[in-house]
Structure 1
């Protein structure tokens, strides 16, 4: 199995294999999020261009409003 680590948990690479596919698979499409791939922030406009590879470490942070 080709696996990645997302927020500390191993999971298979989603079909298509790009950051946008991962965001969609996790149900975060349209949410205000930040994605870090192996220590580097991935700009939202590049989610479809950035491929995921076995062993990659991804951190996803969801912005929550409050006051």
Structure 2
């Protein structure tokens, strides 16, 4: 399946939900915000939100500092 991930084409075979995509990318779901087709996805919905061919996914990392 081909998706658009953070503005780049990305081919994923292992991911059918947001949670599976984050796992495949080795990303901690508690440290990111995810946007699917320009809509923010709540963390509680990562396991049940499907990713389909052609979807656009943006993953934003939280950065701390001071």
Fold match (TM-score > 0.5): yes
Shift of 1:12: 1.9
Any idea what SS the aligned residue of 1:24 has? helix
- Paired residue total: 66
Structure (1/2) with the larger helix percentage = 2
TM-score normalised according to structure 1 size: 0.88
Indicate if the aligned counterparts of 1:13 and 1:54 stay in contact, CA closer than 8 A: no
Aligned counterpart, 2:59: 60
Deviation of the 1:60 alpha carbon: 0.4
**2:36 maps to 1:37:** yes
After TM superposition, the score normalised by the length of structure 2 is 0.89
